[in-house]
Structure 1
Amino acid sequence: MISLQNLEGSVVVVSGAGRGLGAALAVSLAEAGSRPILCGRNREALESVASTILERTGVQTQVVKLDLGDAASVARAVTQLKAEHEVIDLLINNGAMWLESSEEDHRPEEVLAVVNAAVSGTFLLTQGLMPLLRGSSRPDIVTIGSISGLPGAAIQTTSVPFYAAKRAQAALADGFAQMLAGTPVRSLVIHPPYLDDVEPGAEAWENASKRRKGERATNRDIVEAVLFAVTRPRHVSLSIVVDADEGGRFSRL
C-alpha cells in the first residue's frame, strides 16, 4: 500500500494537465490531498479538469496558460507562478507534443514544436521554478519520459523528431539529477509505454489493475508509478520504466 500522507497540502505544478495522463495525474494528486496547479495550452480543457477536481474533491485549482513550445509563454507562466506562490513542492514535467511517423515530410513548425516542448520548454520551466522548489521541505521534479527515450528503443510508430526529443528529455532528467546532487531536490523520471487513456473513477480505471499480461498499460499505471516515486523516503531517487507486452519496448507495433 502506498502511503500518501506526505502529499497532504503539497503544491504541485502539472504541465500538459488539460487531458490524458496530465489530467489523470492532477485529479489523483488532488484526491491524495495535494493542491494542483494546472498548466497547458488549452485553457478551456484546463478549466474542465479543474471543474472535475472541484466536484470530486472540493479542491479549488489554479489554471495557468502554458505552451512549452513557446519560450515567451514559458516565461510568462514562470513569472505568474513566482508572483503568486512562495513554494512549489512538486513539478511534474508531463507536457509534450506527439508526432507520429508519416510518409509525408513533417512541417518545420511541427518538428520545432515537438522538440521545443519536450526539451527547451521543459528545461526553461524547470529552471524558472527552481527557486520555488528550493523553498520546499520536500521538493521533487518528475519527468514523464517515454520508452522511446530509452537507449536502443524501437522507434515503432513514432516520428524521428519525437523519438529524438524523448531521448533528450531522458537526458534532461539525468542532467537535473547530477546538477541537484547534494541538494534537497530530487529528479525522478517515469518512462511509460503506449497507453490506453482512462479517466479516474471510470470503469476502465477501476478495472485497470485486473488486466492480464499481454494487455496495454493505462494512465492509472503511470499515476501509481508517480505516486510511488514521490512518496519514497527522501534519500531514495527512482527511475522507473513501465512496460507492457502490447505497446511496450518489445512490442511488434
Structure 2
Amino acid sequence: MTQSPFNLDGQVVLVSGAGRGIGRAAAELIARMGARVAITSRTVAQVEEVAQAIRDEGGQAWAFRADVAAIEDHESLLDDVEDTIGPLTGLVNVAGISPILQRGERITAEDYDHIQNINQRGTFFLTRNFAARLIDAKRGGSIVTISSVGAEYGLPRQAAYSMTRAAVEAMTKTLAAEWSHSLTAPIRANCVAPAFIDTPLTQPMPGWYRERVESHTAMRRLGADDEVAGAVAFLLSDAASYITGTVVPVTGGYGLWSLDPR
C-alpha cells in the first residue's frame, strides 16, 4: 500500500506568526503530520511555549524570534532555521496585524503604513527570500499565505487591512505563475482566505460587529483556528501537488444567508 499523500513527512516548514491563533494551530497540525517546524513570532515566550507543547506531543519544533516587518533580518532568520533544522521546503505566512476598525476617511498615514509594512511588505520579502534560496538550490517547495475574505468583499471599516490581503492574493497568483514550469523544481504558492475566525486578534471586535458578521455567515458562527489550519496543511502536502495560484476560502459560508431561524 502506498503512503497517503496527506502527510508532511520529511518536510521542513517555517510558520511566521505562530505564537497564537491560526499560526499556532497551523504549526501544531503541520508537526502532527510529520514535518519539522520552525515557529516564529516577535514574542519569544509565546513561540517557546508553542514549540515545547509540540515537542511534548512527540512533534519536532524549534522557536525563533522574528519580526516579519524587519526585512533586513530575513536572511539571517532563514540561515538560522536551515542551520538548525535543515533545508526548508515550506513557508506559511501567518504573521500580520488585525484590522484598524475605522472608516476610510479616519485612517491616518501612520496606521496605513504600519499595517502595510507587516501584512504586505514584510510578507512579500519573506516569501521572496525563502523562494530565492530554493531556486538557487534547485529545490521545490510550497508557500501558503493567509489572506482574508476581506480581499474579495467590501468589509466596512477595514479598508487598509483589506488592501493588504488583496495584495498578497495578487502576489500569490503572480509568483505561482513565475515559479511553476520555468523552474527545475516548481514552487507552489497558494492562499487560504478565512472569514472571521475566533482568535486573539478578533477578541476586541465590538459585540454589534460580531452579531452582524454572524448574521451574514451561513453557519452563523465565527470559525475556529484549527479549521483554517486544515486547509493550510492540505496545501503544503502532496495531496495538493497540482494546486497553485489558488485562493482557498475558509469562511463558513460568509456572504450566504438564510431565511431559516437558528
Interval of TM-score (by shorter of Structure 1 and Structure 2): 0.7 to 0.9
Letter in 1 for 2:166: R
1:102 aligns with 2:109: no
Match in the other structure for 1:218: 224
1:239 aligns with 2:238: no
User: 1:187-222 CA distances to partner (integer Å, 9 max, x unpaired)?
Assistant: 111111011239xxxxxxxxxxxxx83222221221
Letter in 2 for 1:236: I
Letter in 1 for 2:222: R
Checking the alignment, whether the CA contact within 8 Å between 1:38 and 1:62 is kept in structure 2 is yes
Q: 3-state SS of the aligned residue for 2:195?
A: coil
Residue 63 of structure 1 deviates from its aligned partner by 1.8
Gaps of 5+ in 2: 201-217, 258-262
In 2 relative to 1, CA 40–82 (structure 1 residues): closer, same or farther, beyond 3 Å? same
Letter in 2 for 1:72: E
Q: 3-state SS of the aligned residue for 1:7?
A: coil
Tell me the matched-pair count.
231
Structure-2 separation of matches of 1:249 and 1:166: 18
- Percent pairwise identity: 23
Letter in 2 for 1:12: V
Given the two structures, how large is their TM-score scaled by the length of structure 2? 0.78
RMSD: 2.7
Checking the alignment, whether the CA contact within 8 Å between 2:12 and 2:90 is kept in structure 1 is yes
Residue 120 of structure 1 deviates from its aligned partner by 1.3
Checking the alignment, whether the CA contact within 8 Å between 1:69 and 1:114 is kept in structure 2 is no
Match in the other structure for 2:167: 168
Q: 3-state SS of the aligned residue for 1:217?
A: coil
1:25 aligns with 2:32: no
Match in the other structure for 2:260: none
Checking the alignment, whether the CA contact within 8 Å between 1:89 and 1:136 is kept in structure 2 is no
User: 1:102-128 CA distances to partner (integer Å, 9 max, x unpaired)?
Assistant: 369445444222101122111111111
Checking the alignment, whether the CA contact within 8 Å between 2:15 and 2:93 is kept in structure 1 is yes
Structure-2 separation of matches of 1:99 and 1:229: 26
In 2 relative to 1, CA 80–113 (structure 1 residues): closer, same or farther, beyond 3 Å? farther
Structure-2 separation of matches of 1:126 and 1:105: 31
Match in the other structure for 1:178: 177
Q: Which is greater in Rg?
A: 2
Gaps of 5+ in 1: 199-211
In 2 relative to 1, CA 20–136 (structure 1 residues): closer, same or farther, beyond 3 Å? farther
User: 1:53-108 CA distances to partner (integer Å, 9 max, x unpaired)?
Assistant: 1112242x222221122222334423434554652111111111113213694454
Checking the alignment, whether the CA contact within 8 Å between 2:82 and 2:88 is kept in structure 1 is no
In 2 relative to 1, CA 157–195 (structure 1 residues): closer, same or farther, beyond 3 Å? farther
Structure-2 separation of matches of 1:220 and 1:83: 30
Structure-2 separation of matches of 1:136 and 1:43: 32
**2:197 aligned residue (153, 170, 195):** 195
Checking the alignment, whether the CA contact within 8 Å between 1:91 and 1:142 is kept in structure 2 is yes
Given the two structures, how large is their TM-score scaled by the length of structure 1? 0.80
